[in-house]
Homo-oligomer: A and B are copies of this chain.
């Protein structure tokens, strides 16, 4: 079992992380955070350092974003997770957030894995878009063997020939990983599908196949999001998702 703040992952409880792809402003994060917390989310996500395919895309607010994240977390009392892309940012992130996220592009960035492995901070490790499940487990082993056992695995979709969805969310990963490892496993249906209308059904499927939680992108106004707007839920949709997850969480013998 791994805790982000006081939220357990891998226990009887089903954990929900929600929030915007990128932190864009204090106002945007605060409004989104309030909405997801009210709807029942346990943790807040939000990126300050954004790895983007193009150097000309929005790269995140950086240090300023981290400080906003820390302030919103403190004011609402909600634990947070944010992505680390550079070892140089480790201390600053450790100060302002409750958990590191290693993004999909960095799943085999061993420098980064070893660095978070030398801390005791919970680390959300996302599967690379072309990583096999065994490679994901070996990547986790870098963190664990460096001394940090607090790793949460995250399935977020792989690259396949299918073009209807942004990625192919591979839910086989959930029971496969649970059978091979004691680490908690969560699912990111937002990146896994890339389509707003598929997030809710795939979140329910994640519950049903045994995931310990989900991570969902929500934005106070997705139409104005600086990144991933098309796959982010409106607050009202997230509220509806939380309600509809309830019966499946119960069917799985867990609590929300």
Residues in A143-187 with C-beta less than 8 Å from chain B? 145-146, 158-165, 168-172, 174-176, 179
User: Given the complex of chains A and B, what is the CA–CA distance between A209 and B165 in angstroms?
Assistant: 15
Which of A14-22, A32-40, A48-56, A74-82 binds B? Answer: A48-56
Decide: B108 and A86 in contact? CB cutoff 8 A.
no
A204 on the B face (CB < 8 A): yes
A106 on the B face (CB < 8 A): yes
Decide: B54 and A141 in contact? CB cutoff 8 A.
yes
Decide: A55 and B132 in contact? CB cutoff 8 A.
no
Decide: A145 and B55 in contact? CB cutoff 8 A.
yes
Instruction: Determine the chain B residues whose CB is within 8 A of the CB of A141 once the complex forms.
Output: 54-56
Decide: A54 and B160 in contact? CB cutoff 8 A.
no
Shortest distance from the beta carbon of A211 to any chain B beta carbon, whole Å? 9
Instruction: Determine the chain B residues whose CB is within 8 A of the CB of A52 once the complex forms.
Output: 110
Decide: B171 and A162 in contact? CB cutoff 8 A.
no
- Residue-wise interface mask of A (203-229) relative to B, using a CB-CB cutoff of 8 A (1 in contact, 0 not): 011111110000000000000000000
A68 on the B face (CB < 8 A): no
Instruction: Determine the chain B residues whose CB is within 8 A of the CB of A193 once the complex forms.
Output: 172
Shortest distance from the beta carbon of A39 to any chain B beta carbon, whole Å? 19
**Known contacts A201-B209, A208-B248, A250-B247; A164 and B142 CB within 8 A of each other:** no
A251 on the B face (CB < 8 A): yes
Decide: A53 and B138 in contact? CB cutoff 8 A.
yes
Instruction: Determine the chain B residues whose CB is within 8 A of the CB of A171 once the complex forms.
Output: 169, 171, 202, 205
**Known contacts A55-B141, A55-B145, A172-B168; A111 and B85 CB within 8 A of each other:** yes
A133 on the B face (CB < 8 A): yes
A119 on the B face (CB < 8 A): no
Decide: A132 and B161 in contact? CB cutoff 8 A.
yes
